[in-house]
């Protein structure tokens, strides 16, 4: 989907010399700019505004500070902070839930906070002006507005999981708004997802036409997100919201499954470009992408879309998080270079079952893939903090045989700013396992399907078995941390804490120590940007422990 932005600037002055004799000098409406006085009138305006809402969501990854997906992995049990040996220690603050790692890093998430509220603002504007639009087609109205409500739900769901206590804005306001209770925020999330489920037709964006529909929020995506939000809210808070039930969440999962729109990709590795890639010369996309099932494949229910046209002139449309995940300064075909964040915890690597095909598809094993035998690696290794020998493969950047970045097939793309791999928000495998967890009569069948694809034998279905399966199925997909938290903060803290895992920083022996008490004190939540608290004159309150 071609996502663009919408100008919200009201032009109030025109040059008198440019007006014809028939123009009134009182006519100050812009002839070229869209604004709230001349916009939100036609269905085409609504579509343009909806694209702006999608772009607002994408900006949380294209123009972030930390990025939700990166933070979700840094905080979890799968990864350490990593990055360069002389870089700031902000990643260690987040990884260890410890501001003492870098006491000046009080605003790590400030850009993220701003991007999320900018996206929410765009959604609120379209919702506000819905009634003044001249709708020609009520089905199209339901589709557009359903997507808008779902996007607002997604934005708030990320925010409330990260920070717990956030202002709830449903209209534009200059008021200094205090934080809402999490229950109030989740009520809006469920209401918005319900609106999307009720109003986006099942056939609005058929999977069979994924080339044109990929990236849209569908009815089925909204149903799957409803189940995810239900499981997290009821697990983390141990509470319920009126009208939001386990039975409804299960019914929505079963509706996705029974739709016939989705199926598991036959080989797990084919879900990820780097896991499928071959070593290719510049321009040879077929060899480079190898067996990759492609964007919008049969398993993808919702993905955040990016392009490779980002630059340093204000165009923000790539996934700026991907360069962080690449091997530090080291392109080794087909894996592209990056900044060495999110080094993989060796304890997590060792927990995969023997024969689990997901291990090789998910993780670059630097030693066993022969990457260490060159001078370039030695220099990179000495510049790396918390080196473990393991790197995330699923979202590794790609490069050609000569090390040239593959962000563009002609080799002209920038490795820092133009990566554009989708971030897959919801996969069909997740819906199968959520349905099993929610008590489907076919729970055993669903669990067996996921395990069989991974090359594993069936195990008896149980809550423990399902959660274990999720751990490896969704490794490095910004899911597992939230799965840990919804099983209890104390449980999550125990799983994440380390008494001292051996790593290398700057080529020297080092240890990663993560205190369970730090995680418990913060309740697994992130630090609210201190600048936002100051700007609110203390109306906003910092999360406990920070």
pLDDT class of 33 with cuts at 50, 70, 90: low
From the number of C-beta atoms within 10 Å of its C-beta (0-12, 13-18, 19+), residue 205 rates as: buried
Q: Which helix (H) or strand (E) holds 327?
A: strand 327-328
pLDDT of 1 reads 39
Tokens of residue 29, six digits: 């409406």
pLDDT tens, position by position, 421-442 = 999 999 999 999 999 999 999 9
Mean pLDDT in residue range 399-407:
97
The pLDDT > 70 percentage for the chain reads 93
Q: Which of 1-5, 157-161, 220-224, 249-253 shows the lowest per-residue confidence on average (mean pLDDT)? A: 1-5
Nearest 5 degrees, angle CA 235-CA 238-CA 240?
100
The CA distance from 119 to 174, in Å, is: 16
pLDDT of 5 strictly over 60: no
For the chain, give the mean pLDDT. 92
> What is the distance between the terminal CA atoms of the chain, rounded to a whole angstrom?
40
Nearest to 144 by CA among 46, 7, 42: 46
pLDDT class of 172 with cuts at 50, 70, 90: confident
pLDDT class of 32 with cuts at 50, 70, 90: low
pLDDT of 500 strictly over 60: yes
Residues in contact with 310: Cβ distance below 8 Å, sequence separation at least 6, in sequence order: 62, 316, 317, 318, 320, 417, 418
pLDDT of 380 reads 83
- Indicate whether this model's pTM tops 0.85: yes
Asked whether the beta carbons of 190 and 229 are under 8 A apart, the reply is yes
What SS3 class is residue 257?
Answer: helix
Nearest 5 degrees, angle CA 540-CA 541-CA 545?
150
pLDDT tens, position by position, 240-279 = 999 999 999 999 999 999 999 999 999 999 999 999 999 9
pLDDT of 19 reads 29
pLDDT of 3 strictly over 70: no
Q: Which helix (H) or strand (E) holds 506?
A: none
Residue 451 neighbours by CB distance under 10 Å = 19
Sign of the CA dihedral with 319 first, then 320, 324, and 326 last: positive
pLDDT of 464 strictly over 60: yes
Q: Which of 208-222, 282-296, 462-476 shows the lowest per-residue confidence on average (mean pLDDT)? A: 208-222
Asked whether the beta carbons of 540 and 161 are under 8 A apart, the reply is no
pLDDT of 38 reads 79
pLDDT class of 376 with cuts at 50, 70, 90: confident
């Amino acid at each position: 989907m071609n996502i663009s932005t919408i100008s919200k600037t009201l032009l109030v002055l025109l040059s008198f010399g440019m007006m014809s004799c028939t123009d009134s000098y009182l006519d100050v409406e812009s002839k070229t700019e869209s604004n709230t006085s001349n916009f939100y009138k036609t269905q085409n305006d609504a579509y343009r505004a909806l694209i702006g809402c999608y772009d607002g969501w994408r900006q949380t990854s294209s123009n972030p500070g930390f990025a939700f997906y990166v933070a979700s992995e840094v905080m979890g049990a799968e990864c350490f902070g990593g990055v360069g040996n002389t870089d700031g220690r902000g990643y260690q603050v987040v990884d260890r839930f410890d501001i003492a790692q870098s006491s000046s890093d009080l605003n790590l998430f400030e850009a993220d906070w701003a991007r999320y509220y900018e996206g929410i603002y765009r959604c609120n504007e379209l919702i506000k002006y819905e009634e003044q639009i001249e709708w020609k087609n009520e089905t199209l109205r339901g589709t557009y507005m359903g997507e808008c409500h779902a996007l607002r739900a997604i934005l708030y769901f990320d925010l409330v999981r990260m920070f717990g206590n956030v202002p709830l804005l449903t209209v534009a306001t200059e008021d200094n708004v205090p934080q809402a209770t999490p229950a109030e925020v989740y009520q809006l999330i469920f209401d918005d997802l319900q609106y999307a489920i009720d109003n986006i037709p099942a056939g609005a964006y058929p999977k069979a036409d994924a080339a044109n529909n990929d990236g849209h929020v569908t009815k089925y995506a909204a149903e799957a997100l409803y189940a995810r939000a239900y499981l997290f809210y009821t697990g983390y808070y141990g509470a319920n919201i009126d009208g939001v039930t386990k039975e409804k969440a299960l019914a929505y999962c079963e509706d996705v499954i029974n739709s016939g729109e989705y199926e598991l990709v036959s080989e797990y590795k084919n879900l990820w470009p780097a896991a499928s890639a071959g070593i290719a010369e510049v321009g040879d996309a077929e060899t480079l992408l190898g067996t990759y099932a492609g964007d919008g494949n049969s398993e993808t229910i919702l993905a955040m879309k990016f392009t490779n046209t980002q630059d340093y002139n204000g165009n923000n449309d790539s996934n700026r998080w991907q360069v962080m995940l690449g091997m530090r300064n080291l392109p080794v075909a087909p894996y592209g270079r990056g900044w060495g964040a999110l080094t993989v915890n060796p304890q997590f690597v060792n927990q995969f079952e023997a024969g689990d095909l997901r291990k090789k598809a998910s993780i670059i094993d630097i030693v066993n893939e022969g990457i260490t035998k060159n001078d370039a690696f030695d220099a990179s290794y000495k510049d790396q903090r918390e080196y473990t020998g393991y790197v995330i493969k699923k979202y590794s950047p790609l490069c050609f045989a000569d090390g040239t970045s593959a962000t563009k097939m002609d080799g002209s793309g920038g490795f820092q700013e133009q990566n554009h791999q989708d971030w897959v928000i919801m996969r069909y495998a997740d819906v199968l396992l959520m349905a099993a967890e929610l008590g489907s009569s076919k729970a055993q069948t669903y669990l067996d399907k996921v395990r069989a694809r991974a090359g594993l034998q069936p195990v008896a279905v149980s809550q423990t078995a399902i959660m274990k399966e999720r751990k490896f199925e969704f490794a490095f997909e910004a899911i597992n941390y939230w799965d840990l938290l919804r099983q209890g903060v104390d449980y999550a803290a125990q799983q994440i804490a380390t008494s001292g895992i051996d790593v290398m920083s700057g080529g020297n022996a080092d240890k990663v120590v993560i205190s369970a008490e730090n995680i418990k004190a913060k309740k697994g939540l992130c630090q609210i940007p201190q600048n936002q608290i100051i700007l609110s004159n203390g109306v906003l309150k910092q999360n406990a422990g920070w």
